[in-house]
Structure 1
Amino acid sequence: MTDVLRTVLDRWKAAVDAHEPERAASYFTDDAIFQGLHPYSVGRASIAAYYAALPVGMTATYEIRETRRLADDLVLGYLSVDFAFTDRPTLPVYLSVIVRRTGDDWLICHYQVSQVL
């Protein structure tokens, strides 16, 4: 399960770090529910718009804290993520994702961020 998550999240991280919003969104299902730190949205177009609005130079570093196999084609991941910026302090968050097998690939179908208080 951890290998599945790490494969998906490493691709996501590379796209976020490179400020490539369309590529980041391509690692989500067409109907993905996405909750960043702004109101939620559904689908790749809104996910790409969210990542496009983030500052250039922002990077993500994640640690997988827990995993659960929900079904043969669904894996839940609970992570801590540090979003680092060039001009302000790092933002630590918790992230829950559900990845779903789609054909031969795994894509994020649910993404939920919570601020660390």
Structure 2
Amino acid sequence: MNGTAANEEVLRRVLDRWKAAVDAHDPQRVAAEFTADAIFQGLHPYTVGRQGVADYYDSQPPGMTAAYRILETRRLADDVLLGYLSVDFSFIDRPTLTVNLSVLVRQSPDGDRISHYQVSRLN
């Protein structure tokens, strides 16, 4: 498997778990996909740590779902992977919100987790 395919496989493992937790509106499960010291920047002021992630996703409306597409990957270190994505957040009662998302995934024997999450909107 080439480097890009291997990188995407790692990202998909983590992001598929993240997506399943977002779609289930399970904030604690979403937060479990992040490192304990993760820097998290959604569309509100940033937080550090899992509790901030859980609080952010708890504030999202039930029925919100996420669909992501990996645009780019880079291996920054043996245990750190950068992913750049397009994510569509769909809602029951409002139009879909498309954002760009950058994540850093830290790989470890205890499990791969998101250590940095940065959302931006271009429109």
| Bin of the TM-score, shorter chain as denominator length | over 0.9
CA RMSD of aligned residues (A): 0.6
In the alignment, structure 1 residue 60 sits paired with structure 2 residue 66: yes
Query: Which consecutive segments of 4 or more residues in structure 1 shift more than 4 A?
Result: none
Offset, 1:103 = 2.2
> Matched residue of 2:112: which SS?
strand
Which string of whole-angstrom CA distances, capped at 9 and with x for unpartnered residues, describes residues 32-75 of structure 1?
Answer: 00000000000001110000000000000000000000001000
TM-score by length of 2: 0.94
The gaps in structure 1 that reach 5 residues or longer are none
Which of 93, 99, 118 is the aligned partner of 1:112?
Answer: 118
> Matched residue of 1:49: which SS?
helix
Counterpart of 1:69, as a letter, is R
**Could you tell me the percent identity over the aligned residues?**
67
Which of 28, 53, 56 is the aligned partner of 1:47?
Answer: 53
In the alignment, structure 1 residue 25 sits paired with structure 2 residue 35: no
- Match of residue 10 from structure 1: 16
Counterpart of 2:39, as a letter, is I
In the alignment, structure 1 residue 98 sits paired with structure 2 residue 104: yes
The structure with the largest strand share of the pair is 1
The gaps in structure 2 that reach 5 residues or longer are 1-6
Q: Alignment length, in residue pairs?
A: 117
Counterpart of 1:57, as a letter, is G
- Match of residue 83 from structure 1: 89
TM-score by length of 1: 0.98
